[in-house]
Amino acid sequence: MKKARDLMTAGATCVNENETLVDAARKMRDLDVGALPICGEDNRLHGMLTDRDIVIRCIAEGGDPATATARQFEQGKPVTIGADDSVDEALKMMTEHQIRRLPVIDGHQLVGMLSQADVAREMSGKKTGETVSKISQPA
């Protein structure tokens, strides 16, 4: 059975919790991604920051992305998967929490990201459709 580490994108780039949202947005642009893990000075995962957070939770609310930091947008403990956990467990977590990107950790270190697309490439067309539907259902 395949493990999370077999399908993940290794070497996830973090946004430091003290970086501004402008810096985070530039990283997202440069990496062509819509979300970044937020890491502390200890390189441990503290949360996730999405492009939607920047636009909806900062700019639309009148915030200044040039002064707002990633730390201000951490929301509770992030949902993660262990690098040696099964892909089935990852799918369960993604479905249960309705998330499209799952940080992969080994011990306490972030080692990669597992996206809905990473998993979908390994499944049949029918199972991919069912999984995407479950992850995308309104809460």
**What pLDDT, on the 0 to 100 scale, is given for residue 12?**
87
- Full pLDDT tens readout for the chain, 139 residues: 789 999 999 988 999 999 999 999 999 999 999 999 999 988 789 999 999 999 999 999 999 999 999 999 988 788 999 999 998 899 889 989 988 899 999 988 899 999 888 887 876 666 666 766 766 666 5
**Full 3-state SS string of the chain:** CCEHHHHCEECCCCEECCCEHHHHHHHHHHHCCCEEEEECCCCEEEEEEEHHHHHHHHHHHCCCCCCCEHHHHCCCCCCCEECCCEHHHHHHHHHHHCCCEEEEEECCEEEEEEEHHHHHCCCCHHHHHHHHHHHHCCC
- Domain segments of the chain: what residues? 4-136
Q: What is the pTM of this model?
A: 0.83
**What pLDDT, on the 0 to 100 scale, is given for residue 105?**
94
User: Are the CB atoms for 39 and 46 separated by under 8 Å?
Assistant: yes
Please state which CATH class domain 4-136 belongs to.
alpha beta
**What pLDDT, on the 0 to 100 scale, is given for residue 127?**
66
User: Are the CB atoms for 109 and 5 separated by under 8 Å?
Assistant: no
